[in-house]
Structure 1
């Protein structure tokens, strides 16, 4: 798996999205590789907890691969969004707890990926955001469904509708991350937390995770509705303008069409 690295030690798996040259953007290939890796880790009796992080010092996952997304047709984007939602459902449904160690930008799909993890900790340079509206689209990997449950409706609306990012301290204040630490201390903190989980009864941990998610996760109908609206949004002229402007590094001029 060229874009994914998996390391196992002391009953803990560290899964790293390894596309530092593109700030670990979620291409279709990365999504497929991550799903396969999670399937294997969930079935591995040696693994008691998973730490998810990004390669390099700049980004956890900076979002979708916009160059790939911009070139897609409607039927392609429906498959892409479906695979992204499926990956995030897998994170939630895994028997093993997943800790997001957020080492930089967690934007768009990267923020959604972090939200699907069971526990989130971050370095002090981390920034969180859902900037999709600045590209003429909106969050499609479940962000409209998960974020309100994590930070509350008002904070979620502000982040989603403005596209603004928040720093690590603000993210901790609103509940988007559980702990802020130094860059150097991030992985040691994540491993310490994973080891504390590993020391507990595996079945008790598995069942506790299931019980929490049973009551906390929104209905699947909401995710399907998000996908349908995303595809409608993807067919607009504003989407073409937003993504072209992003790739050309200029300000977009939206027309509401």
Structure 2
């Protein structure tokens, strides 16, 4: 009977077929079947005689026994759970590797019949890509890379790269990089197409005194820029032109010279579009009107150039919220006011709206409704501080009110030195309708502008007046008839800024300081303040320039010195 069983087993597992060819990464089932009904306590072992230890996989009735398994097969082998009951002893080998090429032996050991070799399976694992194919692929890659480098070389050194931005963006980066190690005493100059110095960097720091006035406060380069070789320039309020970056040695020799052409795209208006970009004015004093739901566009600050150099236009742009004051707008206006305060070239500021029919609707009540009670007070305090900073700017500020200025919107306008409105504009401190009071300076500034009694009447009744009524009560200096484009007040404000622009800038600053401080004290103290401010203009170069121009019967050229 034992002889018959062995013969039957050998017949069932006679598997001396030719080697099976497979590829790296494949999975393969090594076949082996036999009858197990007469075995008492069998153990099946798959092995490789060329390995130490030789065990590939071992199976007992209790389950897998892998303590003697060769580690190269760890986690890659498995057998069916009922293998010893069904006689299906095939081995599943996954993630084939080149080193798996070998002859695999399937054997069984039993207490009754001892050791029996059931059969061999030859496996040949090949590379999925043969060596010659890899060599060809590497060659093709090298050809592609070489071609790309050649193209890049031609583009980088033989052409002028272009940078395109949409009209109305606040800033753009003009890329200029080099892998060449530059000396620490090298001088970097950016110039525009008119040969004006846009930015100068030398000996580890910027040189603003060499910069053209047009670009004052509008450019920025990285610190320690010579170390990484990044000479890129960030430019605010870009316009179409070609910029040139030149690097000089200490002796004045040109070490590198690259150009960047800047194109500013003007988007077309489409019916139903959520945003539109269009010019508010043509020529000097151009302001961009831009509608968008992106919070970064809540405020646009434009430093005008040419004959209008020195005029800054601050445009509020929250069309969906009617320019209501929220946390983001307060943050952006703080930053804008701080930049203007530091810029000595600024001579006047126009605060306006870029949204037709609205100046500022006051606080953003939707955001306010989401605030916890503990957040309201600090937010109002911050808004009050912003409006105070706006009022403390050393240069003349003009509010151009072409639409509704309510609550905090009117408080913002009251902080400006001069207010100009269209005849259709609506103005009022309407907070009492919401059972609160003006909290950003309205209760203090309005009485100082129109008188205590009338200010109380407007605030108590939450009354809204139009531009004509506002002029009659002294709330605005000028009320102009609104035009078809809805920017009549802005145009009149621009005219006034142009009147202020040619005057002595230091004298203007001192005059504002004397008025603002003097009006809060008695006349005697006010005269002392005026005297102190006058003493500040006596030693200036501008005063001497004014006398010389008068004597020579020409227009003075004041520089704020």
TM-score bracket relative to the smaller structure:
0.7 to 0.9
> Which residue of 1 is the match for residue 343 of structure 2?
44
Superposition pairs for residues 37-116 of structure 1, below 5 Å? 37-116=336-415
Q: Distance in 2 between matches of 1:186 and 1:162?
A: 27
Q: How does 1:162-177 map to 2 (within 5 A)?
A: 162-177=461-476
Is the 8 Å Cα contact of residues 58 and 104 (structure 1) preserved in structure 2?
Answer: yes
Task: Give the alignment of 1:172-187 within 5 angstroms.
Answer: 172-184=471-483, 185-187=488-490
- If the length of structure 2 is used for normalisation, what is the TM-score? 0.38
Question: Does 1:138 find its partner at 2:437?
Answer: yes
Q: Are the counterparts in 1 of residues 348 and 500 from structure 2 also a CA contact under 8 Å?
A: yes
Partner of residue 7, structure 1: 302
Give the distance between the partners of 2:457 and 2:299, measured in 1 at CA: 33
CA drift at 1:75: 2.6
Query: C-alpha distance in 2, partners of 1:40/1:212?
Result: 24
How far apart are 1:217 and its partner, in Å?
5.3
Deviations 1:222-247 (A, max 9, x none): xxxxxxxxxxxxxxxxxxxxxxxxxx
Q: Is the 8 A contact 1:92 1:213 kept in 2?
A: no
Are the counterparts in 2 of residues 81 and 140 from structure 1 also a CA contact under 8 Å? yes
Q: C-alpha distance in 2, partners of 1:92/1:45?
A: 17
* Kept after mapping to 1: 8 A contact 2:317/2:354: yes
Higher relative strand content: 2
Report if the CA contact (8 A) 1:149-1:216 is conserved: no
> 1: distance between equivalents of 2:458 and 2:369?
23
Matched, 1:199 2:502: yes
Instruction: Return the offset for 1:85.
Output: 1.1
**For the Cα contact (< 8 Å) 1:146–1:217, is it kept in 2?**
no
SS class of match (1:161): helix
SS in 2 for 1:94: coil
Work out whether residues 18 and 24 of structure 1, in 8 Å CA contact, stay in contact via their aligned partners in 2: yes
Taking structure 1 as reference, are residues 182 and 84 closer, same or farther at Cα in structure 2, changes over 3 Å only? same
Q: Contact 2:401 / 2:490 at 8 angstroms: preserved in 1?
A: no
Q: Secondary structure at the match of 1:199?
A: coil
Q: Deviations over 1:80-126 (max 9, x none)?
A: 11111111111111111110000110000001000000000011111
User: Once superposed, what is the RMSD of the aligned Cα atoms?
Assistant: 1.4
Which digits, 9 at most, give the CA deviation of each residue in 1:46-89, with x for residues without a partner?
32101001122211111110111222233311211111111111
Mapped partners of 2:341, 2:501: distance in 1: 14
Aligned to 1:126: 425
> What's the counterpart of residue 171 of structure 2?
none
More helix per residue: 1
Task: Give the Cα separation in 2 of the matches to 1:78 and 1:217.
Answer: 27
Q: 1:45 deviation in Å?
A: 2.7
TM-score under structure 1 normalisation?
Answer: 0.81
Establish whether residue 159 from structure 1 lines up as the match of residue 458 from structure 2: yes
Closer/same/farther in 2, CA of residues 54 and 211 from structure 1, 3 Å limit: same
Q: Is the deviation greater in 43-52 or in 13-22?
A: 43-52
Tell me which structure has the larger Cα radius of gyration.
2
User: Is 2:511 the partner of 1:214?
Assistant: no
**Other-structure match for 1:243:** none
1:216–1:25 distance in 2 versus 1, CA, 3 Å: farther
- 1:216, distance to aligned residue in structure 2 (A): 3.4
Match of 1:189 in 2: 492
* Partner of residue 34 from structure 1, selected from 326, 330, 333: 333
